[in-house]
């Protein structure tokens, strides 16, 4: 780095690295119009290789950003996983009654749905990370014209120990210095930011070594277009079909003593041929390949004085076997991005940002623990069941389905998640801290059937979901009326006092009403007008905030109240965070609890 006088600039946030964590956080900041810079040492956008598996939960996140249609259209959909083995882990080579014969090569031992029915309304898909990043880059640019600054490397970070001044973090960028308020490090497993802060990675000292190929296989193997796990005396191979109908990714576990730099493409191809026996396998072309080592490691801490935050591979590394890496990293960015946006736009206190550490460090540790066990089970092709007996890996795969779909993340109590204040008896199938699941409802104003989660886009707003029941019943109508008065009736009412005077009343907290009963017997004038506020450029009444759990014309009945475990005669309030996790569940008449929740972190604007 040049020692000549560096130029100095100031900005609110610098993001080091344009991987999935950095881009997702940057997309949030673009939505909030928060000034930031995102820097990457590469000469341009990622073009090939790296991650490709997109969990159901990640597809849900892309849906919330309005990006899922493109993602689903271009991606390979993982519908089924198949299991093959040559029986080499068994004591016998007998073929009697369909038993394995290690001497004759691999045979199919089972198959299962990749994602069990009911886990998510979105599929598990495969799309190369370059394209996934491209979708987020495009969205960033649409929101505020922001682009990644390529060819700029963060070589050091320091934090003023006294946290004095408005910009206490100094970032060294090649021959430029930047003074910032917050920094986010997503610069990979060998993070220079993490090293400059003397944050150690703790975990396994022995790495697993993997070879990976994106290749065009010529084979008579019947399941080449299905996700496949193959166990053989010659090794373990996973097939991940890729988008486009021809390309497939092969993951091959190599001996732990292998030096990645010594691996050749020819060696990987020969290993694959041996594992495929008795099926033929040749390679028309190989688009990309690599060999690398990955250990299961966790950063000793995820921040420096809550001014510099680590995310993605900069704070957790693991094997590729469960397809969690890119997804967990992206969800790190999804978690911290909106919190930075709310803090730096003056809407929330610093206590909200502190929850990133509480929430994502726990998720990363859970991932490392899971991956350590999962990796061993894949290598062995078997595991121990709940009864202590040995079970085939296919059973293990099915049991782990909710986790591998990305749907088990549960956040502990904090200012953003108030389980101890909640009354979960009013919504027995919902859990505070977990992501809000979706059910079909009918939009009241135009009779459109839709998933309720589509009424909650990732646009930076908190949501108060009001399950008011059938308002043709007097008691339910009166409870909804009283709630509306509490939330909206005066200039210093709950929602008004947290809304900036120049902004629409629903710009920070949006209320969504979900009714039950017969839609055609319910009239719009029965709904308090405050739940359909005037907003937008043309100051029109927004009548799209009212939904009803009823039969649709062509898509049946969603039974949303039953799905959520809500009694229509009692109703419920569910507060949902900007990232779709449930903050609090309470009775519809518990007005003060709703007030107390928002006063715990939100900055009063009036």
Domain definitions of the chain by residue range: 9-70+127-201+297-365, 76-88+102-124+209-293, 424-600
The whole-angstrom separation of Cα 602 and Cα 497 is 10
Domain 9-70+127-201+297-365: assigned CATH number? 3.50.50.60
Please tell me what DSSP assigns to residue 166: S
Q: Write down the CATH superfamily of domain 424-600.
A: Phenol hydroxylase, C-terminal dimerisation domain (3.40.30.20)
* Burial status of residue 527 (CB atoms within 10 A of its CB: 0-12, 13-18, 19 or more): buried
CB-CB contact of 110 with 83 (8 Å): yes
Longest dimension (CA), the chain: 81
* Sequential DSSP letters for 375-402: HHHHHHTEEE-TTS-EEEHHHHHHHTHH
The whole-angstrom separation of Cα 280 and Cα 407 is 38
Catalytic residue, candidates 32, 36, 52, 86: 52
Q: Write down the CATH superfamily of domain 76-88+102-124+209-293.
A: D-Amino Acid Oxidase, subunit A, domain 2 (3.30.9.10)
Distance of CA 145 to the CA centre of its chain: 24
CB-CB contact of 289 with 247 (8 Å): no
Catalytic residue, candidates 123, 168, 320, 528: 320
486 carries an active-site annotation? no
Q: What pTM did the predictor assign?
A: 0.91
313 carries an active-site annotation? no
242 carries an active-site annotation? yes
Instruction: Check residue 100 and give its pLDDT.
Output: 40
Catalytic residue, candidates 37, 57, 242, 435: 242
The whole-angstrom separation of Cα 554 and Cα 570 is 29
Catalytic residue, candidates 32, 36, 251, 486: 251
Instruction: Check residue 9 and give its pLDDT.
Output: 76
CB-CB contact of 605 with 498 (8 Å): yes
CB-CB contact of 178 with 10 (8 Å): yes
Start-end of H helices in 234-300: 265-276
Q: Are strands 308-310 and 176-185 parallel, antiparallel or unpaired?
A: parallel
Give me Rg for the CA atoms of the chain.
26
Instruction: Check residue 175 and give its pLDDT.
Output: 58
Please tell me what DSSP assigns to residue 410: B
320 carries an active-site annotation? yes
* Burial status of residue 595 (CB atoms within 10 A of its CB: 0-12, 13-18, 19 or more): middle
Instruction: Check residue 373 and give its pLDDT.
Output: 76
The whole-angstrom separation of Cα 133 and Cα 243 is 16
Below-70 pLDDT ranges, the chain: 1-8, 49-50, 88-103, 164-165, 175-190, 205-207, 319-323, 375, 378-394, 396-398
Counting every residue written for the chain, the total comes to: 606
Q: Which of 288, 175, 308 has its CA nearest to residue 242? A: 288
Instruction: Check residue 455 and give its pLDDT.
Output: 98
- Start-to-end CA distance of the chain, whole Å, equals 49
Residue with structure tokens 């049946």?
A: 556
Strands (E), 17-92: 36-40, 53-54, 76-77, 80-85
């Amino acid at each position: 780095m040049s020692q000549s006088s560096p130029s100095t600039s100031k900005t609110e946030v610098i993001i080091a690295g344009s991987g999935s964590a950095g881009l997702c956080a940057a997309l949030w900041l673009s939505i909030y119009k928060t000034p930031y810079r995102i820097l990457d040492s590469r000469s341009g956008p990622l073009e090939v290789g790296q991650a490709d598996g997109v969990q159901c939960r990640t597809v849900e996140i892309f849906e919330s950003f309005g990006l899922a249609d493109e993602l689903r259209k271009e991606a390979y959909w993982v519908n089924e996983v198949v299991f093959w083995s040559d029986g080499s882990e068994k004591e016998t080579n007998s073929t009697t009654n369909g038993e394995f014969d290690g001497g004759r090569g691999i045979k199919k031992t089972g198959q299962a749905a990749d994602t069990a029915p009911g886990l998510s309304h979105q599929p598990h898909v495969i799309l190369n990370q370059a394209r996934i990043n491209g979708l987020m880059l495009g969205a960033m640019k649409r929101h505020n014209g922001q682009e990644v600054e390529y060819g700029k490397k963060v070589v050091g970070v320091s934090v003023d120990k006294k946290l004095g001044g408005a910009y206490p973090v100094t970032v060294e960028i090649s021959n430029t210095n930047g003074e910032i308020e917050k920094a986010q490090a997503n610069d990979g497993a060998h993070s220079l930011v993490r090293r400059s802060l003397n944050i150690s990675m703790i975990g396994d000292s022995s790495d697993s070594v993997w070879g990976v190929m994106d290749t065009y296989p010529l084979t008579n193997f019947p399941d080449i277009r299905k996700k496949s796990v193959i166990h053989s005396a010659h090794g373990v191979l996973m097939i991940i079909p890729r988008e486009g109908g021809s390309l497939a990714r092969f993951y091959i576990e190599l001996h732990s003593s292998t030096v990645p730099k010594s691996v050749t493409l020819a060696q990987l191809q020969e290993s694959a041929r041996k594992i495929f026996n008795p099926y033929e396998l040749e390679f028309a072309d190989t688009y990309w390949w690599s060999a690398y080592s990955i250990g299961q490691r966790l950063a000793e801490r995820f921040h420096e004085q809550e001014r510099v935050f680590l995310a993605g591979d900069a704070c957790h590394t693991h094997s590729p076997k469960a397809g969690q890496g890119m997804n967990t990293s992206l969800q790190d960015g999804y978690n911290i991005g909106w919190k930075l946006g709310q803090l730096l736009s003056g809407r929330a206190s610093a206590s909200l940002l502190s929850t990133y550490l509480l929430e994502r460090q726990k998720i990363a540790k859970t991932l490392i623990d899971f991956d350590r066990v999962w990796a061993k089970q894949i290598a062995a092709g078997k595991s121990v069941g709940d009864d202590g007996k040995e079970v085939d890996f296919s059973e293990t795969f099915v049991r782990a389905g909710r986790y591998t779909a990305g749907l088990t993340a549960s956040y502990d109590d904090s200012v953003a998640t108030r389980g101890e204040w909640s009354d979960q008896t009013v919504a027995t199938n919902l859990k505070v801290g977990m992501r809000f699941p979706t059910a079909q409802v009918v939009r009241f104003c135009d009779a459109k059937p839709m998933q309720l989660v589509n009424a909650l886009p990732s646009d930076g707003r908190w949501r108060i979901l009001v399950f008011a029941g059938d308002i043709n019943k007097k008691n339910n109508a009166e409870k909804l009326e009283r709630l509306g008065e509490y939330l909206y009736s005066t200039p210093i009412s709950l929602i008004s006092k947290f809304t900036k005077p120049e902004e629409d009343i629903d710009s920070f907290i949006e209320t969504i009403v979900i009714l039950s009963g017969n839609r055609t017997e319910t009239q719009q004038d029965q709904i308090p007008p405050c739940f359909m506020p005037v907003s937008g450029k043309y100051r029109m009444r927004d009548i799209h905030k009212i939904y009803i759990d009823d039969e649709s014309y062509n898509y049946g009945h969603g039974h949303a109240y039953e799905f959520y475990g809500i009694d229509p005669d009692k109703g419920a309030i569910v507060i949902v965070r900007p990232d779709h996790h449930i903050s609090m569940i309470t009775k519809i008449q518990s007005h003060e609890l709703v007030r107390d929740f928002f006063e715990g972190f939100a900055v009063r604007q009036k």
